[in-house]
Structure 1
Amino acid sequence: MTEPVNLKLAVLIDADNAQASIVEGLLAEVAKYGTAHVKRIYGDWTSPNLGSWKETLLRHSIQPIQQFSYTKGKNATDGAMMIDAMDLLYSRNFDGFCIVSSDSDFTRLASRLRESGMTVYGFGERKTPEPFVAACDKFVFTEVLREDADEDDGARKSTKELKCDTRLVNLLRSAVDSAADDTGWAGLGPVGSAIAKRSPGFDARNYGYRKLSELLNAIQLFELDARQVGRGPHRVLYVRDPRHHD
Structure 2
Amino acid sequence: MADAELRLALLIDADNAPASKIEPILTELARHGVANVRRAYGNWKNPHLKGWEAALHAHAIRPIQQFAYTSGKNASDMAMVIDAMDLLYGRTLDGVAIVSSDADFTPLVMRLRHDNLRVFGFGEEKTPEPFVKACSTFLYLEKLGVLDNGDTPAAKPKTAAQLRGDAALVQLLRSAVQASADESGWTHLGAVGSHVANQGSFDSRNYGYRKLSDLIEATGLFEVRRSGQAVELRELPNAPARRPRRGGSNAG
TM band (smaller chain): 0.7 to 0.9
Counterpart for residue 225 of structure 2: 225
Query: Following TM superposition, by how much is the alpha carbon of 1:56 offset from its aligned partner in structure 2, in angstroms?
Result: 1.3
Query: Following TM superposition, by how much is the alpha carbon of 1:70 offset from its aligned partner in structure 2, in angstroms?
Result: 1.9
The count of corresponding residues between Structure 1 and Structure 2 is: 232
Contact 1:176/1:191 (<8 A) preserved:
yes
Counterpart for residue 231 of structure 1: none
**Hey, which of these two has a bigger chunk of helix by percent?**
1
Contact 1:3/1:32 (<8 A) preserved:
no
Counterpart for residue 197 of structure 1: 198
Correspondence 1:236 to 2:230: yes
Counterpart for residue 40 of structure 1: 39
- 1:205 maps to a residue whose letter is R
- 1:169 maps to a residue whose letter is V
Counterpart for residue 156 of structure 1: 157
Aligned counterparts of 1:197 and 1:3: Cα–Cα separation in 2: 17
2:44 match: secondary structure: coil
Counterpart for residue 211 of structure 1: 211
- 1:190 maps to a residue whose letter is A
Aligned counterparts of 2:125 and 2:159: Cα–Cα separation in 1: 20
- The 3 A distance-change label for structure 1 pair 183 and 35 is farther
2:68 match: secondary structure: coil
Contact 2:137/2:203 (<8 A) preserved:
no
Query: Following TM superposition, by how much is the alpha carbon of 1:146 offset from its aligned partner in structure 2, in angstroms?
Result: 4.2
Counterpart for residue 138 of structure 2: 139
Aligned counterparts of 1:168 and 1:187: Cα–Cα separation in 2: 19
Aligned counterparts of 1:239 and 1:6: Cα–Cα separation in 2: 31
1:240 match: secondary structure: strand
2:78 match: secondary structure: helix
Query: Following TM superposition, by how much is the alpha carbon of 1:49 offset from its aligned partner in structure 2, in angstroms?
Result: 0.4
Aligned counterparts of 2:51 and 2:177: Cα–Cα separation in 1: 43
Contact 1:17/1:102 (<8 A) preserved:
yes
- 1:159 maps to a residue whose letter is A
Counterpart for residue 75 of structure 2: 76
Moved over 4 A (4+): none
- The 3 A distance-change label for structure 1 pair 6 and 186 is farther
Query: Following TM superposition, by how much is the alpha carbon of 1:165 offset from its aligned partner in structure 2, in angstroms?
Result: 2.5
Contact 1:18/1:124 (<8 A) preserved:
yes
Of 80-89 and 208-217, deviating more is 208-217
- 2:221 maps to a residue whose letter is L
Which sections of structure 1, spanning at least 5 residues, go unmatched? 229-234
Q: Which residues of 2 match residues 14-93 of structure 1 at below 5 A?
A: 14-93=13-92
